[in-house]
Amino acid sequence: MSILFNPYVVAALYVIGTAAFGFFVVGAAMWCMRWTAGVKRPSFKWIDFWIGTTERAVAMSLFALNVDKLSWFIGAWVGLKFAANWKRQTGPDAAAGSMLFLIGNVLSFGYAIGLAALALWLV
């Protein structure tokens, strides 16, 4: 057993890390990218919070259990999210919005994998 292991720290990484910190870290990065790209979008929507928190929690769990399943989840999840928003964006910002969407997914999953690796390291 590692000296650093504390189940409360791992639980805090899982719960607080995916919900609060994950939303603010990824959200701040996305806000900066939208601002520099000139893409107009409402700053905060609760659905973004819940979707992001859910995808980060599932990605952390799958990374901790089996990396092979994580790659399938990420591919299917991004495909479903992209299909759900297909043709909803129109106008000059549509292409930039789609690319920012993909970057946001990378940031969200990267953050979740980093937290999962940290939690596994602490164990």
Question: For the chain, which residues make up each domain, given as ranges?
Answer: 7-122
A 10 A CB-CB count for 96 gives 15
Whole-number pLDDT of residue 2: 45
User: What pLDDT, in 10s, does the model give residues 52-87?
Assistant: 888 888 888 888 777 778 888 899 999 998 888 776
Give the single-character DSSP code of 38: T
User: What pLDDT, in 10s, does the model give residues 25-58?
Assistant: 888 898 888 888 888 776 678 888 888 888 888 8
CB 115 within 8 A of CB 18: yes
Q: What is the pTM for the complete model shown? A: 0.80
